[in-house]
A and B are shown apart, each in its own frame.
Chain A
Amino acid sequence: MSIMNKLRNQNFSLTITYILLIFFAISIIFPFFWMISTSLKTQKEAVKFPPSFIPENPQFSNYQKAWSKVNFTRYFLNTILIALVQLAGILFTSILAAYAFAILDFKGREILFVSLLGLMMVPMPVYIVPGYMILQKIGWIDTYYAQIVPWMANVFPIFLLRQHFKTIPRDLYDAAVIDGYSDLGFLFKVVVPLSRPALITISIFSLLASWNSFIWPLVVTNSDSIRPVQVGLAYFIQEQSTNYTLLMAASTFVVLPLIILFFIAQRQIIESYTRSGLKD
C-alpha cells in the first residue's frame, strides 16, 4: 500500500469515526433538547403535529408558572437539606468506621467487616417493606428523619475509604504515635488530608444518590411539605399529566442543578465512577 493510499484510508476511517460519534452524541442530547424546546412553547404549539423543533415564540414565563404551580421552593429546600445532612452523616460514619477497619487492630475486626460486605449484596428493594415497618414503629413515617437517618451510613463508602486508608504506610502511624498523636488527631490531621480523592468520590455518590432517590421517599412520606424534589415532580406530573409545557419546564429545572454540578466537577465525577466500578 502506498503512503498516499494509507493516508487516504486513515482519513476515511477518521471521518467515519466522527460521523458515528456525532450521530450518537445527537441521540444522547436530543431528549434534553426536546425537553427544553417543549418547555418554551405555548400549550397550543406543544401539541401541534407535525411538531416544530424551535419554539416560535419562547415562553420563558412557563418556568415561573411551573415553579409556583406547586411548592417547588419547598421541594428544593427539602432536597438540599436532606442531601447535605446525609452527606455529613455519611462522611462522619464512614471516616470513623473505615479508620477502625483499616488502621486499628482489634479482635473480631475481619468478621465484622466481612459481614458488612455481605450487606452490599442485598438489593435496595428488600429494605422497602421492613424499613417502612421499622420507621412506623419508631414513629418516623412522614418525617425528615425517615428520609435522612437510614442513609447516613452505608457499606459502600466504608469499603471504599477503607481500601484507601489501607494504602497509608504503617510507619506513618507509628511515627504519629511516637509524636504523641491520638487516634483522632492522626485520623483528621494525616489520614483525612491524604484521602481527598476517595472522600470526593463518596461525597459525589452520596449527593447524586440523595438528589435522585425516589422509591424510599415515595414510600416513607405522605405530606407534600416534606417531599423531596423527585417525589414532588413525580406527583406534579401525575396531577398535570397533559400540561406538557409546564411539566417540561419543571423537568428542566429538576435536571439542571445536577448538570451544572456535573460540568463543574466533571473530571472528579467521571474518575469516581471509574474508580468505584473497577474496584467494586
Chain B
Amino acid sequence: MNYRRNFFKGLLFLLPALIILFIFRFLPIILAFVISFFDWGISGKGDFVGFKNYLQIFNDKTFYQALLNTLWYVITVLPGTIIISLIISILLNQKIKFKGFFRTTFFLPEVTSIIAISFVWKWIYHPQIGIANYLLKLVGISPLKWLEEPRGIFEILFNIDLPKIFEGPSLALFSLSIMTIWKSLGYNVIIFLAGLQNIPEHYYESAKIDGASRWQSFRYITLPLLSPTTFYVFIMTTITSFQVFAPVWMMTGPPAGGPLGTTNVIVYYLYDMAFNYGKYGYGTAIAFILFLIILFLTIVQKKYGEKNVHYE
C-alpha cells in the first residue's frame, strides 16, 4: 500500500520532466530510427526502403568527404587545444600576479556567441583586406586566401603538388580549426587548472629534494598524474568537434561547406540534405552514423576515464 503510494508520488514528481523528455527526446530518437529506413521527404512518408539510406551513405562520395573533413577538423583542433591550454594552465598554476585577470581573459571566448565571433573571424580572415594577411605581410609572408582556399595545408606549406590524401585539410577548414582552438581554450584551461591543483604539493617537494629538474618534475609527476584530465579534455573536445555546425554555416561559402566542399562537415551535410534537399530519411541516417561514432567515444571515455580518476 505504502509502496504503491510512493510509486505514484515518485511519478508525480517526475511527470513534468518525463512528458517533455518523452515527446522531445525519446520520441524523436525512435522516429529518427524509423525514418532512416524510409524514403522520407518533405511531402511525407515515402516507401519503406530498408537499409537503402545506409547503403547509399556508404557509396556517397560527398559523405566520405564530409567525414574526412570532420576527422581533419577534429585532428587539427585536438593537439592545438590540448597543448596550448596545458601550457597556459601550467603557467597560471604558479605564484603569479594577475592570475584572476588572465584566467578571466582566457575564458572570455567561451561565453561569447559563436555567430558573432564567427563573423569577426571571417572578417579577420578576409583575403584582400583582412588583418590576418596584414600581420603576415608585416613578417614578410605573402597573403593567404584563408577561408577561400581549397588547397590542403601541407601542399601550401611545402609548396608542392601532393596526392589528395596527403594534402591535409584545406586551409579553409584549418582556419575554422584555429578559431575553434581560440574559442575553446579557456574552458580547457580551467579544467586543466583543476586537474593540476589536485596533484599533491609534496610530490614536487620530494622531487626537488631528490634534485629533479623542472622538466623532470613535469615529465614524471605532472604529465602522468594529469593524464585523466588530459584524457577527459581529449574525449570531450573530440565529441564536440564532431558536431561542429555554426562556424561552417556562418563562415564558409556561399554555398556553405565550400570552397569545393572542403569545409563540408557531417552535421552541415545532414542539415543540407534534410532542409535544403528535403531528404529527411537520408539526413537522419547520417545523424545516426554520427550518433554511433559519439556513442563509441562516450563508452571509451566511461570505460578508460573512470579507471584513472583516482590519483594516489
Contact = CB atoms under 8 A, between A and B. Distances in A.
A107 B10 CA distance: 9
Nearest to B112: A255
Contact of B134 (A51, A101, A254): A51
A96 B185 CA distance: 35
B75 interface: no
Q: Say whether chain B's binding surface is mostly helix, strand, loop, or mixed.
A: helix
A254 B113 contact: yes
B21 A49 contact: no
Contacts of B107: 262, 269-270
Given A96-B17, A99-B13, A258-B111, A14 B96 contact: yes
Among the interface residues A108, A119, A151, A274, which one has the most CB atoms of the partner chain B within 10 A? A274
Contacts of A93: 16-17, 20
B110 to A, nearest CB: 8
B14 interface: yes
Contacts of A29: 105, 108
Contacts of A35: 116, 120, 123
A149 B24 contact: yes
A270 B103 contact: yes
A14 B267 CA distance: 44
B227 to A, nearest CB: 15
Given A28-B185, A29-B105, A126-B291, A112 B116 contact: no
Interface residues of B, number: 89
Interface in B239-267: 239, 242-243, 245-246, 249-250, 266-267
A124 B243 contact: yes
Nearest to A215: B245
Nearest to B23: A134
B114 A214 contact: yes
A6 B17 CA distance: 61
Interface stretch (A54-62, A172-180, A243-251): A243-251
Given A125-B267, A134-B31, A17 B94 contact: yes
B66 interface: no
Contact of B232 (A99, A125, A130, A277): A277
Nearest to A105: B6
Interface string A87-127: 00100111011011100111111001000100101111111
A227 to B, nearest CB: 12
A173 to B, nearest CB: 13
B146 interface: no
A34 B115 contact: no
Among the interface residues B102, B120, B290, which one has the most CB atoms of the partner chain A within 10 A? B120
B154 interface: no
Contacts of B266: 125
B290 A106 contact: no
Contacts of B288: 126
Contacts of A50: 134, 137
A260 to B, nearest CB: 10
Contacts of B174: none
Interface string B107-135: 11111111111011101100011010010
Given A24-B106, A122-B29, A278 B194 contact: yes
B28 A130 contact: yes
A254 to B, nearest CB: 5
State the 10 A-B residue pairs at the shortest beta-carbon distance, nearest first: A106-B10, A130-B28, A251-B116, A100-B13, A150-B24, A153-B20, A97-B17, A130-B31, A93-B17, A153-B17
Given A31-B117, A255-B117, 11 more contacts: A28-B106, A51-B134, A104-B10, A123-B239, A123-B294, A129-B274, A129-B284, A130-B28, A214-B245, A233-B115, A270-B103
